[in-house]
Each structure stands twice: as structure tokens, then as C-alpha cells.
A and B are shown apart, each in its own frame.
Chain A
Amino acid sequence: MLRAGLLAGLMLAATPAHAFVAYVSNEKSNTVSVIDTDSWTVTKTIKVGQRPRGIEFTRDGKFVMVAVGDDDTIQVIDAKAQAIVDTLPSGPDPELFTQDAAGKTLYVANENDNTVTVIDLEKRARLGDIQVGVEPEGMTISPDGKTLINTSETTNMAHFIDTSSRQIVANVLVDPRPRFAEFKHDSSELWVSSEIGGTVSVIDPGKHEVIGKVTFEIPGLRKEAIQPVGIGMTKDDKTAFVALGPANRIAVVDTATRKVTKYLLVGQRVWHMAFTPDEKYLLTTNGVSNDVSVIDVAAQKVIKTIQVGELPWGITIAP
């Protein structure tokens, strides 16, 4: 504790501008790596439950929630103590989850039984389940908090769920195996990646219609290797970053034209990503090469690679 405190103090003194903390879930190692974004080093490795995947800070930055699918629960890590302090009653095999803006309600995709579980974060109690399609995974909430999006991998749909009634209000068909969903900050568009389809569908959230598709083409790489998963949208909504899995690249997409402007070579099988709060850096998890790539967002360049545990999956950065 003392050491950690001292270390944090030193870092603050060094470069207060961008000393953030990133947490990375390592699916195979059953650990979470803590990365300091000032020194770009792993400062701690926390042992967690079986098969950690989805990972996110609570809104207040005090806790990190990590879905440990094979233990059928979500563990809560105290960010100060860097130790597990509690568990949340998710359904079986939780994978990805999202929370409302207030940080009061958590929505969890349970891959094994086609449901989304609703959890009261303050009481840490389960409020109920919503039946969705086969193998729910991608989860996001609209900026106004009114609509919850869940994507189901084998049903190939984005389900629009009214957060007050907890009813499905619309289902939008997308390309095969949708993995991840992300709203533009101005709510005008919802982007959904299709891992097997190899595309990102752009959906009009008002009309519940696919209004465009982002496609990818990399010379010398076969089409099957391009498998979009994670999406990161800049705060001005002008640029989207899309992780292309075994293509080992992040696509930089101009959101106005929906065209790729650049491909950034990162580690192997890149899946998820997180921006630092100042949006200077974007960190990506590269499963097969067991590392995290650091992208300089303005320069659109990979500046660093950090070794973490085995099969890094998800990433979250303290607000």
C-alpha cells in the first residue's frame, strides 16, 4: 500500500498531464494487468477468477469490474487497494457489460443463456433478465441513457432495449457474428462490428435501419482474416478506430465518408481498445502476441508495445 502510494506520488510529480491507469483482462492467465500510462509499464498483476474478459471502471473511478465467465460472476476490484473486494450477481457466463451514465445500473450479456442481466450497482443486486438472441455479447447504452443495445452473435442482430420498460423495441439485422456496438457521442449513429461478416454496420438509431457499411481491404491479406471487433470513437465523432482481429491492424475510419484512411499495424489478433481520458492515446489488446499497443491518436502512429498476460482481451482506463 505504502509503496503503491509513493509510486503514484512520484508519477504525479513527473508528468501530471497523462498519468492514467489502464486495467487489462488476460483471458488465458486469469489475471488483470495494471498499466501506468506515464511509464508505459505493468505496475501490478492481479489474480482474478476464471476467464476474465469484459472489464470496466465504475463511473466514479473507484472500482474495476471484470467479468469472469467461467466462474459465472463479475468480480469487483478496488482500484486503490488493487485487490478484489466483491462480486456481482451476474447470470451464467458473463462476457461484456455496460453501465448507465449515473453508474447505478449495470447491464450484462450472458453468453450461455441468451439473456441480458440487469444489476443494481449500489445494492449490488440482480434486478432481472431480458431475453435476447443467441449468444449475446456487444453491450452499449445510448448517450441519453434511454436505449440499451445488445448484439447477439448467432442471431446476428442488434437488439434495441428501452431502459425504462426493459422491453425490446427493435431488432436490426447486421452481418454475421456481431461483436461490439458503439454510439456516436451525439447519438446520431450506432456502429456495430461483424466479426465474420468483416464489416461495421452504421445504424440510424431513430429509424432502426442500417444506413451504411464500413468495409475493409488490406492488400496482401485475405478477406477472411479481416475480422472487426472493438470500436473506439473520438469525442468529436470525427474518427473511429476499428480493431480487425487476426488482420493485426487497427483501421482509422473517417466517420463522415465511412472510409478507411489508414491501417495501423499493432499486435496479433487485436480485439478491444480504450482511450486515455485526454484522448491522446489509444490502447489496444492484442490477444495472440500477449501485448498492448499504444497509439498516438493525433499522429495516428503506434508508439509503444507493452507485454501483459496471456491472451489479453479487454481494457479499461480510469476516468
Chain B
Amino acid sequence: MIRWLLGPIGLCLAAAQALAADPVTIGVGYLGVAGTRATLSLVEQPAENEGVAGAKLAIEDNNTTGKFLGQRFTLEEHRIREGEDPVQAASALAEKNGFIVADLPADALLKVADALRDRGTLLFNAGAIDERLREADCRANVIHTAPTRSMLADALGQYLVWKKWSRWLLVVGSHDEDKLYADALRRAATRFGAKIVQERTFEDKGGARRTDSGVTLIQRQMPVFTQQAPAYDVLVAADESEVFAAYLPYRTWDPRPVAGSAGLVPRSWDAAQDQWGATQMQNRFMKLNARRMSALDMQAWTAVRMIGEATSRTNSGDVKKVTDFIKGPNFEIAAFKGTRLTLRDWNLQLRQPILLVDGRMVVSVSPQEGFLHQVSELDTLGYDRPESKCKLK
């Protein structure tokens, strides 16, 4: 027993190094939109601090490293309210912060990127998955840690084809982003040899996501909606708008698995991911934020860690130096995904494995075995260099 009592005589020695000089301060801004969107599943309702919570953890991680190098990281958050000008908000953040992590819709992000271009601020797109931000509308001052729709769709497509579920019934929502996701899924089917046997549209006729006798009604609607389909292996739903996909599992007319926006879902990160040392990271996140870590949290964490990685490699807080290093050929970052993550130099998209998750477990991780590429297997996910329309300016 005595040996236990002797225990916590903490020596807690501060690192003696690098404390002589004043630390260099590296300011990181976080720009998001106020309010959260409604999801069909109550448990998937995003937290108010989704995204910035990941940035906060990365700031802590960077500061632990920074104390050995004389670097100190700060985080300044701003949430844009309805009617507020994103450019003004971004410019205010850029006063003190050379780096801004953004979770903004595509149009707002482009406005901010163009407004901050001459100032030299480096932006990280942690939220928007739109293809056009990496293609025709790509920008030289925007790095993307969020995956694209095509990366997500390809990750799912590879797995479904590996599983030999190659006949897809595609159900598409009626909103623009649902249609964009459906485009990416059709592209994935063509690339990997799956067949879309039929497409159906689920019209959003309005209505509440929370009702008191919802289940009874849904149980009548969904089997009817999915009946009389040609023979298919898997129902693939494109419903980024959260209107119907989550209602489909266990309710299809034919007993078939559901994937896409519900069932088996492709994501950059999941609270269930515990491979490749991720448990430590999940524990740190939980301790700091008292909740589990989402994909957006991870995308923001990765952005801030990329900044920290570059400041420690260059031993500098200079925005230009750090930016050049991140965009340079020697940049790589570890992010608990079993492989190094690097930037696609033609459009500044972060290459990354994509997890396939069912809400409780990580079912698989793409790229799948056997999908080969001459440069990096991670480039089997999403638009590749030869197809790119991006000209970085």
C-alpha cells in the first residue's frame, strides 16, 4: 500500500529549453457560420462548437510542441450571423491572424479568399466539400482539409464494388447539393464498374424533422417509395439535405442494405475510429470538449496541425515561409489514418483515406485493396491531376 501512497509526488518538470527568448506567437482564426442545421437523427445533431472544438485541440497539441521550440499558438473564433458580411468578418480576423480555418459555404469562402489574397493570409477550407472549389474555382490561398464529394463517393464506390454489390438503386434528394452528390456517385459507378439500375427522386415537400408520431408514418411511406424496383444489391441515397435517407435502412421494400447519406456512410473521420493510435486523440478530444469528435472537428484539427507541423519544420512563425513549406514537396502530416497525408499540388486538396462508417463502427477504410495508382493510391479517390480544371492563381 505504501508504494501507492508515495505515488503522486509530481515532479512535473517544465521544459527548460527555449524559455529564454520570448515565444513567437502564431495566430489562427476560425471563421464559421452561426447556428446549426437540423438532422433527421437526434444523435447526429451537430454541437454548437462543431469544427472549432477540433481546432482548439490542435492548438493545445501545437502548444505542447511549441513550448520546446519557443512557439505559442492562439485561436480566435468568429461565427458569422445572418446578414453579416463574411468578407468584413474575415478581414477583421486577418488583422491578428495569418492563418484562418474556414467552415463556410462555397460562395462565401471564395469571396473571403479573393478579399484576403493580397494580404497573404492562408485559408484552410475545413468544411466545404464542393468540387468546384478544387476545380474551376480553385484558389492559390486556399488549402482544403475537407474531402470532396467525389472523394467520398469514390471511397464508397470502391467498397461496394469490392463487396460485389454492383447494382445500385440511386435515390436522390431534390436539393442542389443532393444532385451534386448524385453526380459524384454516378461518376464513381462508371469509374469502378457498378451499374445504377434505376434512379428515383425523393421530393422535399417540406415538413418537420421532429414529430410526435413520426415513425408510424415513415414506416408506411418508405416501403411504398422503394417498391417495384428492378433487381438491385444496394440502395445508394444522395441526401445531403437530411430529408429522407436516414429513414431508409430497415424500411426498403426489398431487404437491401442502404449506403451513401445513410447506412454505410463515407466520412473523413468518425467518433468510432480507433485505429493507428487514434484512441489517444479521441481521448484528448473527449477530455477537452466533453463530447465525441466529428468529421468537421477532424478537418479543423488537421488544418491547425498542418500549421503547427510547418512552423516546427521551418522553425518560424512567418506566414509566407510557413505557406511555402505547406505547399512545397516535402510537406506531410500524420493524422491517425494509417498513412501520411500530403497535398495535391495541382489544387491544394489534402489526400486522405476515407472511412466508411455505420454510426457505431468503422466498417472499412478506402482506398480499397487492388485500386492502384501510379503516384499515390489516395489519388484513386476524387478527381485526379489529368482531369483537373484547376489553375491556381
Contact = CB atoms under 8 A, between A and B. Distances in A.
Contact of B13 (A123, A131, A152, A195): A131
Given A128-B9, A155-B64, A169 B277 contact: no
A198 B340 contact: yes
Given A126-B7, A131-B12, A170 B17 contact: yes
B17 A153 contact: no
A89 B4 CA distance: 7
A134 to B, nearest CB: 5
Contact of B61 (A123, A125, A134, A157): A134
Interface stretch (B28-36, B192-200, B317-325, B331-339): B331-339
Interface residues of A, number: 42
B283 interface: yes
A129 B12 contact: yes
A126 B6 contact: yes
Interface string B1-37: 0111011111111111100000000000000000000
B289 interface: no
B16 A168 contact: yes
- Which of B2, B14, B17, B281 has the most A CB atoms < 10 Å from its CB? B17
Nearest to A170: B17
Nearest to B3: A125
A135 B280 contact: yes
B377 A134 contact: no
A128 B61 CA distance: 22
Contact of A128 (B10, B68, B284, B312): B10
A234 interface: no
Contact of A133 (B9, B64, B333): B64
A89 B280 CA distance: 20
B210 interface: no
Interface in B37-76: 61, 64-65, 68-69
Contacts of B13: 130-131, 166-168
B332 A176 contact: yes
A203 to B, nearest CB: 15
B191 interface: no
A126 B93 CA distance: 46
Interface stretch (A17-25, A111-119, A250-258): A111-119
A288 to B, nearest CB: 12
B385 interface: no
A224 interface: yes
B227 interface: no
Interface residues of B, number: 38
B376 interface: yes
Contacts of B312: 155-156, 173
A207 interface: no
A223 B339 CA distance: 10
A154 interface: yes
Interface in B283-313: 283-284, 305, 309, 312-313
B65 A93 contact: no
A197 B340 contact: yes
A134 B65 contact: yes
Interface string B263-285: 00000000000000100110110
A305 interface: no
A177 interface: yes
Interface string A78-114: 0000000000010001000000000000000001101
Interface string B327-353: 000001110001110000000000000
- Which of B4, B15, B16 has the most A CB atoms < 10 Å from its CB? B15
Contact of A196 (B8, B10, B334): B334
A171 interface: yes
Given A89-B7, A168-B17, A224-B376, A153 B313 contact: no
Interface string B351-376: 00000000000000000000000001
A151 to B, nearest CB: 13
B61 A224 contact: no
A93 B282 CA distance: 13
Interface string B211-224: 00000000000000
Interface of A: 89, 93, 111-112, 114, 118, 123-131, 133-135, 152-157, 159, 166-171, 173, 176-177, 195-198, 222-224, 246
Interface of B: 2-4, 6-17, 61, 64-65, 68-69, 277, 280-281, 283-284, 305, 309, 312-313, 332-334, 338-340, 376-378
28 contacts: A89-B4, A93-B283, A112-B280, A114-B64, A118-B11, A125-B2, A127-B6, A133-B68, A134-B61, A153-B277, A154-B334, A155-B61, A155-B312, A157-B68, A159-B68, A168-B17, A169-B17, A171-B68, A171-B69, A173-B312, A173-B313, A177-B334, A195-B334, A196-B334, A197-B340, A222-B377, A223-B376, A224-B377
Given A134-B61, A223-B376, 10 more contacts: A111-B277, A125-B2, A125-B6, A130-B12, A133-B64, A155-B312, A169-B17, A195-B334, A197-B332, A198-B340
